[in-house]
Structure 1
Amino acid sequence: MKTMQKRAQKTRRIAAGFVAAATAGAVLGTMAPAAAASAGEVPSSSVAARAAEVVEKATGTADLTKLDGRSGSGHTGEGKVTVTAPETAAGDVRLDAPNADVSLGLPETKGTAGVAAGAGTVVYPDAAPSTDIAVQPTSDGAARTLVTLKDRNAPTTHDFSLKLPEGTRLTEDGENGFLITKSHGEGAGKSGGEGEDTEILGAIDAPWAKDANGKAVPTRYRLDGDKLTQTVDVTADTAFPVVADPKVSLGWSIYLRFSKKEVKDMAKTSVYHFAAVATVMACAKIPNAVAAAGCGAALTAQAGSLRGQMQDAAKANQCVEWKVSYVGVITNWKRYKC
């Protein structure tokens, strides 16, 4: 079993979503192509406004944070995360959180200056041929980086360079995205190694893309070293503009994972003994004393349903993951192939 944490220190995880893939909304209406901006040139307010309008129709504006220049801060309940868009599209998006910083290089061919526009979007119109780039800090401590393919002349493949905290690596999350992880213990550095506890510092959500009619457009990632490439598969029927997004959410949670054997062992216990067994196998692994104590209380209260979930997973020969809040409440669970 592994202890998996979101954000900040060893009991925290910078959750969800850093490079590509995020929440989506419909992109309605085809916008006229924005005028190209030469390297370093500040786009006109009308060009920036049009670029922001397309993006914000795709993402919505309810979760956007107020911008201070090119920066915006979100809160996760236990800390502030500051997202800063670069001065030009040639720079990096920075996410500064307690004890963990990450950055993402934007895909571009020109150093177009970033302009704050719309309800809270920094845009880089025509940063690449027929392509606008945008960055959105959100109120929940996230960074969205968006690519708008304005017409069929736009490139459909975009590279994002990653700068991760020292000692971390990307691992697949089983849902077409990646986790930014750091291993501790005897098995550190060996994927799935015995005795390994895994700290999750961040996550790259599964990619998404939407066309002008709100229809999902197939898209995927390829990881090559510190470069993440997103490809959008447009067809003759695709309505432009198409918007695709990478996002980083910051939230502190603890992720507990159970192997097939652990799942089967816990599924065999009676409902009366389940909480005691699970406390030893799960809660004792949480390095934060408050969360460990809360986990025990939560197990007692949820023993019946959690045991039933373990039994379902055991029958399917699957592993189980619990999401535990920083005070020990089990807020979610899932089973997965392993």
Structure 2
Amino acid sequence: MNVNTYRRSISVWTTALLAATAILVPAGVVHASETDVVNANEISDAVADAAPVANVQQPDANTHTGDLVYTAGEIDITVPTAPDQGLVVDTPGPMEALELGLPNNEAHGELTLADDGTAVYVDSDGLADIAVQVLDDGLRVSTILHSAESPEEYVYDLPEGTTAELLNDGSLLVISGEDLAGAVAPPWAKDSNGASVPTRYEVTAEGFVQIVEHHGAGFEYPIVADPSYSYCALGGWYPAMCVKYNRSEVAFMASIVAGGAGAGAVGAHLCTRAPHLAIRAACIAAVATLTWANLKAITDAQSQRRCLSFAFTYPPVAQLLSGGLRVVRC
């Protein structure tokens, strides 16, 4: 869900496209009943209410097995008809495609495509549905908990040779061999009133688990819990971790540029968000090399009321750190 990425370039798993005539719809979706589609739309609406995003993708195509194929930036993502098959994330570069298991999928039916492009798997036991959304920079997998009987643990398996590393902010790095295969944003969970539900990740030998502590706490259902997986590459090929800076952070950096403080002051602010101490040290050593084009990206983002993404290389390669600042949608 790839090579180096930062967990804040969040988001991970569904896709939408309005040009329905250009989409080959898989057999499982073609034969979905009207009731299935209504249910899928209700589930996607619950996710949108909890955490709205404007960049959910529609599938580009389908395979002969009925799986959906999405494109998220440089990533191709296959969302399977059967939930026990796992999501397949194919990224540029030499790394093999990565398979990410869907959580607690034993009782879930086959994929139904919601109108907005969300791929939905309904739990036949009525405990916790799965919604997969493909975004511009990765995937978002949401679990929709329907009652106090719903489990508190949701298991995400990674392939052999791939591990998760838990960081201090609660996010995860996904590492395949010696390469960074992606990142998972800090977890969140909200009930139907918008109240935050305590949640965290725990790393296991097979992958990671999202813990959602909702039992006996008086929360209103449904509860939406969401890990978001993201990927980026510097120059389209070099593994990196991408950090997104919001509008207020962009405004602060733009004020530094306008004040003539120079690349060093801007870079120092960028480096505070580096996800790893070694990368932060390499970033600080490289800030003086920030180019005019990078500084212009800051002023462009400010004038367009957009956000910024900065690619930190991993392992840190100082000479590449200065080339990864770009304007993105918030």
Give the TM-score category using the shorter length. 0.5 to 0.7
Contact 1:17 1:246 in 2 (8 A): no
1:109/1:81 Cα in 2 relative to 1: closer, same or farther (>3 Å)?
same
1:63/1:109 Cα in 2 relative to 1: closer, same or farther (>3 Å)?
same
Name the structure with the higher helix share.
2
Residue identity matched to 2:312: K
- Quick one: higher RCO (CA 8 Å, sep 6+), 1 or 2? 1
Q: Could you list the runs of 5+ residues in structure 1 that have no partner in the other structure? A: 1-6, 24-39, 185-198, 256-273, 279-284, 303-321, 333-338
Contact 2:163 2:205 in 1 (8 A): no
What CA deviation, in whole Å up to 9, does each residue of 1:24-69 have, x standing for no partner? xxxxxxxxxxxxxxxx997622222212221222232402112245
Shift of the alpha carbon at 1:252?
Answer: 1.9
Shift of the alpha carbon at 1:224?
Answer: 1.7
Once the two structures are superposed, the pairs formed by residues 1-338 of structure 1 within 5 Å of their partners are 8=3, 13-16=4-7, 44-67=36-59, 68-69=61-62, 70-75=68-73, 80-98=74-92, 99-100=94-95, 101-106=97-102, 107-126=104-123, 129-140=126-137, 142-163=138-159, 166=161, 168-181=162-175, 199-234=179-214, 235-253=216-234, 254=240, 297-298=289-290, 323=312, 328-329=322-323, 331=325
Q: Could you list the runs of 5+ residues in structure 2 that have no partner in the other structure? A: 13-30, 63-67, 235-239, 242-263, 269-277, 295-310, 314-318
State the percentage of identical aligned residues: 24
Cα RMSD over matched residues?
A: 3.9
1:329/1:116 Cα in 2 relative to 1: closer, same or farther (>3 Å)?
same
Any idea what SS the aligned residue of 1:163 has?
coil
Any idea what SS the aligned residue of 1:236 has?
coil
Shift of the alpha carbon at 1:22?
Answer: 5.2
Paired residues, number: 234
Any idea what SS the aligned residue of 1:126 has?
coil
Name the structure with the higher strand share.
1
Which structure has the larger Rg over C-alpha atoms? 1
1:114/1:295 Cα in 2 relative to 1: closer, same or farther (>3 Å)?
same
In structure 2, C-alpha distance between the alignment counterparts of 1:137 and 1:326, rounded to whole Å: 28
1:323/1:155 Cα in 2 relative to 1: closer, same or farther (>3 Å)?
same
TM-score of the pair, normalised by structure 1 = 0.58
In structure 2, C-alpha distance between the alignment counterparts of 1:171 and 1:87, rounded to whole Å: 29
Q: Would you identify which runs of 4 or more consecutive aligned residues in structure 1 move more than 6 Å?
A: 40-43, 299-302
1:295/1:201 Cα in 2 relative to 1: closer, same or farther (>3 Å)?
farther
Residue identity matched to 1:86: P
TM-score of the pair, normalised by structure 2 = 0.60
What residue is the counterpart of 1:261 in the other structure?
none
Contact 1:109 1:127 in 2 (8 A): no
In structure 2, C-alpha distance between the alignment counterparts of 1:247 and 1:160, rounded to whole Å: 12
In structure 2, C-alpha distance between the alignment counterparts of 1:51 and 1:128, rounded to whole Å: 15
Residue identity matched to 1:239: E
